[in-house]
A and B are shown apart, each in its own frame.
Chain A
Amino acid sequence: MNHYVAGNGDQQIKMAVDISTNGFAWTRGFTIQEDGTKLPIPNGVSDATGDIRQMSLERAINLQRKSIHIVTKIELFWEDITTREIEFKKIGARYIFDDGTDGHKEFNTPDQVINASGDFSVVYLLMTVKLD
């Protein structure tokens, strides 16, 4: 599990997501509490690039023991499966957290890259970061 020490201050923790792909990509962020309660992050949505510009999550103290779960759906829209497979292998992702006790921290590898359709046309990236 990826960790980010947010601390117990009043400052806002910031997050950004940078997806690199030539396909259409959409990203959405969620907070998940320890009991499994899951809530979409307001403004934690991307346009068709999959990128989320740096945004405030919440006050650090309110994020203690919560997890940030980030889902990216990518549509590789080329008819040729060889091209789609090449694009699948090129997908990149950066998850960036700021202003916590850990300061600036980047995670460059998603937890999971799932070829959901089996033919590289629909791909999901999943990333979860536990905040302490």
Chain B
Amino acid sequence: MKQLTRILSGLLILLTGQQLYAQQITNAEKLSVPQSSAFKLVDISPTLIESPATPKAFGLGVLQSFSGDGWPQNYTAQFTPYWWALPKGRDVFNFIGIQRNKNGTSPEVWKTNPFSALKFTNISIAFIKKDMVPDTVTASQKVFSAGFRTTVIRAYGRGYAERLHALVDTLTQKQQADILELVNADPAYSAAVLSGDTATTARIIRQYTARKNEALSALMNRVKSQLIEKPIFQWDVSGAYATYGIADTTWKTGRAGIWSTVVFNTPLNAHSAGAATTNYLSIAGYARYMYDAYAIEKGLIAHSNSVDVGGRLSFEFDPISFGMEAIYRNYAVGDNLKSQRVVGFVNYRVAKDLYINGAFGNDFGLDKSRILALFGVVVGFGNEKLDMSKLPSAP
């Protein structure tokens, strides 16, 4: 098992090496802690129901430092293999899930591919230190968890593809004109090209780019806003497996689970003057099946299965969003383990991709007086939230 530990630690270091570089870029990145399936299986999340956007190439979260015995505490890394794939014929339309159909001389018609987000299947691992065994001993176990998350279906509302089509066509005209302007921006450009003076061409291009074309930047931002518009329907599936280190020598299956979320997003601001949708009412349904090797039956540890069923209602009025999620958990054994989790949450976007969030309410467990009080700064992709701050105490 020590060998396994060494292998897993090596994998974590490998996966996080590039992210550590990225974390030097901005302070905001240092504060980011992504949601991950590997964390969710062991209930380390202020909210369990989410509808993720396009995942980053790497995600990394550190909630606490390494423990005294060298086992990383509450540390997760996410990896999206697609970002490293090199399929032939890759282009932006495949990436954003747009199919372009042209019939004879009729105008090109754009449609969204509802399965296009499958390619962003995300893999996560986590090292956790938490008391996962419901006995009278309060010692924490070393936990290694691995999981995946994928979006099976993502459907956009009527008009989404055509709005994007109009924007991208306009952008293409402007970008083509911009290239023409670039090559004529400096009389020395042609001579540099013909003589192979790469330093001069690079200098001209960098200087031209630094003189920002505000109209072009605004149009590009408008396209980006359109791209992160929420789908009206999204179906996500996740799964994870966790193994517990018992007494430092034995590793046993702790939990395994699979869960699914369906989300309906209703835009609350119409597409007036081509503006991007930023306000939504979101309703989500959530179900999870979980095998738990450490449940309690008549005072003794027993294997059990549990089923979670829940929902989430949230309002998003950029820059603030708030809502509530409620989840009911039913164990096959031990009626006294049936419990609910009811959590209210609020996110406030203080800057582009930088959020302050909070969550409050009752966690799973028998002690219903428990209150989560989580506030932190998080970083998200686009308008999505990656809400995580401090670890709640073990249920």
Contacts and interface: CB of A to CB of B under 8 A. Distances in A.
Interface of A: 1, 19-26, 28, 30, 32, 34, 36-38, 40, 45, 47-51, 67, 69, 71, 73, 75, 77-83, 86-87, 90, 92, 111-112, 114, 116-118, 122, 124, 126, 128
Closest 6 CB pairs of A and B: A82-B22, A36-B190, A116-B209, A49-B91, A22-B95, A26-B175
B57 interface: yes
Contacts, number: 126
Contacts of A87: 83
State the majority secondary structure of interface residues on B. helix
Contact of B92 (A21, A38, A69): A21
B193 A126 contact: yes
A17 to B, nearest CB: 12
A24 B205 contact: no
A28 B179 contact: yes
Interface stretch (B133-141, B195-203, B250-258): B195-203
B83 A83 contact: yes
Given A77-B223, A86-B84, A122-B209, 15 more contacts: A22-B94, A28-B180, A32-B190, A36-B190, A37-B190, A48-B172, A51-B91, A80-B56, A92-B86, A111-B196, A112-B198, A114-B201, A114-B202, A117-B209, A128-B194
B297 interface: no
Contact of B176 (A26, A36, A124): A26
Q: Which of B90, B94, B382 has the most CB of A within 10 A?
A: B90
B19 interface: yes
A80 B381 contact: yes
A73 B181 CA distance: 12
Contacts of A50: 91
6 contacts: A26-B175, A38-B189, A40-B180, A82-B18, A86-B84, A114-B202
Contacts of B381: 78-80
B17 to A, nearest CB: 11
Contacts of A26: 172, 175-176, 179
Given A80-B381, A82-B56, A114-B202, A30 B92 contact: no
Interface residues on B, range: 35 or more
B92 A81 contact: no
Contacts of B194: 32, 34, 36, 67, 128
Contact of B183 (A22, A30, A122): A30
Contacts of A126: 193, 201, 205
A41 to B, nearest CB: 11
Contacts of B189: 38
Contacts of B223: 24, 77
Nearest to A82: B22
B202 A112 contact: yes
A45 to B, nearest CB: 5
A82 B19 contact: yes
Contacts of A19: 91
B183 A81 contact: no
Given A26-B172, A47-B172, A82-B19, A32 B193 contact: yes
